[in-house]
Each structure stands twice: as C-alpha cells, then as structure tokens.
Amino acid sequence: MLRRLVALAATAALVPLVAVPTADAAPRDRYRASIAITKHGIPHITASDFGSLGFGSGYAATEASVCTLADTLVTARGERSKWFGPDRRYNDQVTLDASNLQVDAFVAGLHQRKVVETLLKDPVRGPGTEARAMVDGHVAGANEWLRTNKVTDPACAGAPYLKANVTALDLWYGVYLANLLASAGVFVEEIVDASPPTVGDPGLPELPVAADVDRDALLTALGRDPEAPFGSNATAVGGDATTTGKGMLLGNPHFPWRGRYHFTQQHLTIPGTYDVAGASLIGSPAVNIGWNKDVAWSHTVSTAYRFTPYEYKTPGPGTTYLTDAGPQELIRDVVEVETPDGTVTEDLYRTPEGYVVDSPATLMPWGPLSVWAIRDANAEHLRTIDTFLDMGKATSVRDLLRRQDEGAGMPWVNTTAADRNGDVLYADHSVVPNVPDDLVQRCLTPTGILLQQVAGLPGLDGTFAGSTCAWRTDADAQRPGILGPENLPVEVRSDWVMNANDSYWLPNPEQPLEGYAGIIGCEQCERTMRTRVVSHYVLDRLAAGRKESPRSLRAHEHENRVMAGEVMREGGALDQVCDATGETEACAALQDWDGHSDAASRGYAIFEEFVGRLPAVGVWLTPFDPEDPLGTPRGLNVANPLVVQAMSDAIAALREQDIAFDAPWGSLQVAGDRGAPPIPLGGGSGDAVGNANALASRWARDNRDHYRPVTYGSSHIQAISFLPGGRVDARTILTYGQSENPLSPYSTDQTRLFSQEKWVHFAWTDAQVRRDLVRRLVVSGP
C-alpha cells in the first residue's frame, strides 16, 4: 500500500489530484475511496474495506451510467407508471417486454409481501456481511455523485426522479428482479393479467400433439426466442495447449448495448485483501465477469430452466384448486400502482408454489378445468452478489467453483475459467430446480408432457406440489429445493473447454458430459454453427501443430470466420444454389466473398439474408450425428427448391433496399447504440450463420438509415493470459464504451477501437495504472 501511495504522489505533478467537492473527509464520513480513472474512462477503485469499495464503485458507475441506473431503481421501486406513464412499454432488451403498469403491479406485489426484506433477514437464503457492505456503500456512492454532480446525459437530464435518495433496499430489489430474468420476469404480463375464467372460457380447447406445436413460437413465449437468442462465447485454454504453459481465457458475452443489462468496467482493490477487475452489469457493485492475479472467468447463458410450472386441477371456474390435502383457495393480492391520473388497482393470484399465470402461448391458460402457477428457484434467494464477490478471491479454477457453490447464487449462466496453474474449467453450477428425471416422469401432466417434449420444460402436477411432486433437496446444496454441486455438470481439464450457449454436453469433444437431469439441458443434441466455429478456432490451431499463444487466442475474436459459409461452400454447393437463381451479378459477388464477416468483406450481406430465409428442414444432406457433433449437419441440399428460393428471396431483399451486392459489410453494419455515429463493424449473426463475434440489431433507434445498426451482441470482451513471474496480460474491449452519455469522450472511443479490431491494454498493475492515468478522485461520504 505504501508503495502505491508513494507512486501516486510522484505522479501528482503530471496529473492533478482532483478533490471532489463532497463533505469534508472528517471522522464522521463512513466511506472513503480513491478512484483512478485511466484511458477510456476505466475506474480503478481502492479502499480499505468493502463498504468503501462499494462506495467508490457506486460513484464511478453512476458517473458512467446515471440514466440507466436511475431507470433501474425506478423499476425496482415500482414507479415506472408514476414517472413514465402506465401505458408505455418497458423493454429490458432481453426477456421482459410489458407495460409500465404491468411491471409496477408485479413489483408492487413483491414489495407488499416484503419479499426482499424477508430474504435479507434469512441467514441461509440472504446475503452475507461483505455483500451487504458493498451494496450499502454502492448506494451511498451513487447518492454522493447525484448530490455533487450535474446530470448532462440528454436521456434523463433534469428528470424529477434523479434524487440522492437511493436506498440499499432499492438496489436489492433491482438485484432480485435481475435474478428473475429467465423465469418469473418472462411472465410479468401473464401474471398481472391473470384473472379467473368464466364458464364459457375454453381454456386449452384440445390438447395438441407435439408435432403440431409451433416450437419456435413456444420457445419465444418462454423467453427463448430462437431468432433473438440471449448468449455469449467463452473459451479457456489450459497449460497443455498454450505456449506459456499457463491458462488463458477469451470471453465474449453477447448482451444488449443499451439498458439494464449492459456492462461497465471497473477494477476493485482492498490492498492485501482483494484485487479483481472486469465488468459489472448496471446495479452490481461486484465484478461479474473478470479476473484476478490467478484466475479469469467469463459467463455464457445456460440452457437450464430456473422454474417449473405446476398445473392444478379445478372443480370449475373460480379460484378453488384441488390438492391431495383437499380443495384450496388461491391467494389473492390486491396491489396499488401510482400513476399521473391516480391510483390503479390490480389483482395478483398465487399458490404456495408461486404466481398464477394465464399464458395460452406457453400452453398454460387459466381455464375452467385447471390453473397454472410457476415455482421460481431464483425467487427464493438473494445470494447473487455474494457469489460474484467471493469468486473474486479465487486462487484456482477449482477454488472458483467451490466459492461459486458456497454462494449458490449464479442465477442463469455457465462459467468458463482458466488459472495460472494451467487448468481450465467449464461448469453449469447455476441455480436449477431440484427436479430429477424420475420425479419429472412421475409428476408430468398431459400438457406437461407436451411442454417437455417440445421445449424441454417439465410441467408438473400441482395436486401433489406440496408432497410427492415437490422439489427435492440435495445434501450438498446450499439450501433446499435446488440441485447440489454433485448433480450439476462440471469439467476440469488441462487442454481446453468452451461454451457458446448450447447445453453442457460438449465443453470438449473428448469428454462429453452425460447423465444429468433433463431440466439442465439436452445431451447428444445438435450444436449451433456458433458453437462449431468457437470450438474450431482452437481445434484447427492444435490440429496444425501449433499451441495457442496470448496473441493467437485474442486474435480469434476478430478472425470473423463464418462457419455456415465454410460448411455450405464445400463442393461448391453454395455457388450452385446461387447459380440456380439466374442472378449473375449477385452470384458473382457471393462467389468473390472472402468467407468472413470483416467490415471490409464484400458479398457477405447476401449470405446473411440467405441463411435467415432457409427452411426449417431439408437444408442438409447429412443430418446431425452425435458421433460427429462438430462436423454435422453438413452438405447443402442444392436440389431443394426451398433452399434455392431462399437465395432468390435474399437477393431480392437486398435489391429492394437498393443495397449493392458487393457493398463492404462495414458500410451496412454500423454501431447503433444511443448517440453513436455509424461506425463500421465486423461480425454478424451468431447461431445459424456461425459468427463468434455475434452482433444483432434489435429495437434500434439510432442510425436506422443503415441496413443494420447494432444494438446487441459482443460487449465486454476480455482476453486474459497468465504469464511467468506472476504477470497478467489483460486485453479488453467494451464495444459500446464505458459511458452511456453521448456527450462523454468515453461514449464511443472503444467502439472505434472495436471497429479497427484493436484492444485496450487494461491497466492491471500499479505501474500500468500510473502509465494510463487520466485523473484521480478521492471520494468520501456518510
């Protein structure tokens, strides 16, 4: 610590020490932190305890993302209708899309029952001392920033809800709602709008067979839209396959470029106690994806379900349902929501297992003969901050997993990690309901069988929800009702592992993981083209007799290989399909395409349009084979007229938009986050096309005059390599910039670097921080 302070003093002549105009740093100040801002606006926060560390984190995060943080807290309070109007939609850019009134009613129900307050008092399900201190400090830091700074971001400048009155409870409700992203959060509309059926309500008129169910529509209604997947890539390479003999990690979470689920970067240090860097989602005082001196980790969204629906028989229309203990009445919560025009009342219904839903789109309507409710494993804990915070102390990948299991709060993601010893880890040790296959088979209802066959989601018999169909408890689980570590998939190796949002089955083709509960995901099932390309980056290099180096691993991020293109070009099949359309100009551009999705690639737009129009079946001559999972399916079916029609339609779509067939991809795909100029970007569609550098345009508002303004995808990318002598080579890029304020110099600077396929050399050591120092703040407050 003394060495660091001396070094800071030595730089004072070059970089002014900024005294933030807060209250005097007297003994009455509870918190005090130093924030060193380095190039690209990255804050390095140093404090003597976790409360002060949270204070510095909250101060820095508010400066970078005040509008989104404020919006998140308004949501957590159930006040969206009050400030934004009840009829406007709230879209979190991931799974939640509901009116402000519906969101507020859902949140009001939680507040009315004091759900979070109860969890905060629970010694098992609630947070620990350090997590509480971080949250307390974080909100105090946010309040201090709001007290002492003027908001200049046009998105919220002058907003009446921007007040320095944030409480720890506000933030805990925000954390709790984020936990529900893949479960109850998917059903907010269906929960709030659920009401008892009438005599004439048909319910589910006739149970369809699996073949007649629109699988894509069902998955979309369950928050798993195949056309808009929520995903990421992560590759960890161990000492047996690296030039350093130590572990390396390339992580690229694909998250929204705007809103609640975008990242900010930070470096958190308590000298001699805690030192971790990486990225955090808005509202998280802990690093979610990052590294310390010994371990680096990243996350990918898991295929496991976080909830199970229960179907209860009813004696007819109304609020009575049947159980093995006799008829029961639904619990009815009457909640009030404040709007500009007065108070609105809503009814929410639930069973002891959870909220009632009226969801015909997921085959779960509230009809005259049955009613559905969902039990949500992530609604039963508040352990997420503890889990991430403790992972930052890990000394190896095995220690990382041990700490994750003790926290038991990893809400909806896999973990891929590498360590200094040369070991690598893949694990899906997220929060999963304890419903092993034998319980599922005994408890499925007829509709529940259909849900499982089509979507992998078991619909259980609510008649026995409190007895034989209740979630089980594993002896090694941190709390009742969730699968324990022994029943969750994990693989530790010394060569390599990866995940790109397919199930846990194949982190390395040499060692498939099998025999786990079906609710976690599928086994011996087809991999996406994105999984195949991420795997082949390492496989192809090793097959050529070359190990991965720090430079080669991070270079994979910008190779922009297009796996579907590579597969479809085998034997000239792709050109044959195009030639069958008679479109000579377009086919010449496609034939000249370099096979990549670089910003300079020409002809690639045709391929993107083509893949997006392919039929659901009949595309391949060789189907998926679990004995060759990374090589099948293959063989483009040039004789299928629907495949040829897809190419014709793709060419016509570009012609209709007046897009040149040989236009450089970067002239078409540009940055689309708020206030960004149309910066050209490489990369492209992920799962079906096979880009690891997956980018997408969803709900775009800016640069809509361009073909594809990017609002989603590659986000906080990190390439971390452990080197001899205790050194760490940390390269990162936050694709949309550290600041969401378009007036900030840190709004688009990293986007430009991303466009140029460059990296930020993240300042990890004291010397590196001094080298890149822009300004320093000492902040304190009550």
CA–CA gap between residue 315 and residue 323 (Å, rounded): 11
Q: CA–CA distance from 413 to each of 208, 305, 478 (Å)?
A: 32, 11, 18
Helices (H) and strands (E) in the chain, counts: 23, 33
637 pLDDT above the threshold of 50: yes
pLDDT mean over 529-550 = 98
Tokens found for residue 112: 């009315």
CA–CA gap between residue 48 and residue 45 (Å, rounded): 10
pLDDT mean over 667-692 = 97
3-state secondary structure of 328: strand
Res 207: pLDDT: 82
Q: Would you place residue 203 in the very low, low, confident or very high pLDDT band (cuts 50, 70, 90)?
A: low
Res 22: pLDDT: 47
* One-character DSSP codes across 579-599: HTTT-HHHHHHHHH--SB--T
668 pLDDT above the threshold of 60: yes
Res 199: pLDDT: 79
Res 670: pLDDT: 98
Name, in order, each residue with C-beta under 8 angstroms of 378's C-beta and a sequence gap of 6 or more. 179, 180, 182, 183, 184, 306, 307, 411, 412, 431
- Is residue 50 within 8 A of residue 746, CB to CB? The reply is no
Q: Would you place residue 204 in the very low, low, confident or very high pLDDT band (cuts 50, 70, 90)?
A: low
CA–CA gap between residue 605 and residue 650 (Å, rounded): 9
Handedness of CA 176, 227, 686, 93 (dihedral sign): negative
CA–CA gap between residue 207 and residue 456 (Å, rounded): 17
Q: Would you place residue 8 in the very low, low, confident or very high pLDDT band (cuts 50, 70, 90)?
A: very low
Tokens found for residue 107: 């949140």
- Nearest Cα neighbor of 170 from 252, 246, 73 is 73
Instruction: Report residue 760: phi and psi, to 5°.
Output: -90, 125
Segment holding 68, helix H or strand E: helix 50-77
Range with the lowest mean pLDDT among 46-50, 188-192, 209-213?
Answer: 209-213
Res 66: pLDDT: 98
Give the number of other CB atoms < 10 A from CB of residue 566. 17
- What are the tens digits of pLDDT across the range 702-747? 999 999 999 999 999 999 999 999 999 999 999 999 999 999 999 9
Give the number of other CB atoms < 10 A from CB of residue 537. 25
10 pLDDT above the threshold of 90: no
Res 14: pLDDT: 28
Q: Hey, which residues are catalytic here?
A: 232
Where residue 703 falls (left for φ over 0; alpha for ψ -120 to 50; beta otherwise) is: left
CA–CA gap between residue 389 and residue 406 (Å, rounded): 12
- What are the tens digits of pLDDT across the range 270-294? 999 999 999 999 999 999 999 999 9
Q: CA–CA distance from 704 to each of 154, 163, 320, 607, 652 (Å)?
A: 19, 34, 51, 21, 20
- What are the tens digits of pLDDT across the range 742-781? 999 999 999 999 999 999 999 999 999 999 999 999 999 9
Instruction: Report residue 761: phi and psi, to 5°.
Output: -80, 95
- What are the tens digits of pLDDT across the range 150-187? 999 999 999 999 999 999 999 999 999 999 999 999 99
Partners of 778 in the beta sheet? 19, 34
pLDDT mean over 371-377 = 98
Tokens found for residue 766: 């004291």
Tokens found for residue 139: 């909100």
Amino acid 106 reads F
Handedness of CA 268, 35, 262, 536 (dihedral sign): negative
507 pLDDT above the threshold of 90: yes
Res 23: pLDDT: 44
- What are the tens digits of pLDDT across the range 400-437? 999 999 999 999 999 999 999 999 999 999 999 999 99
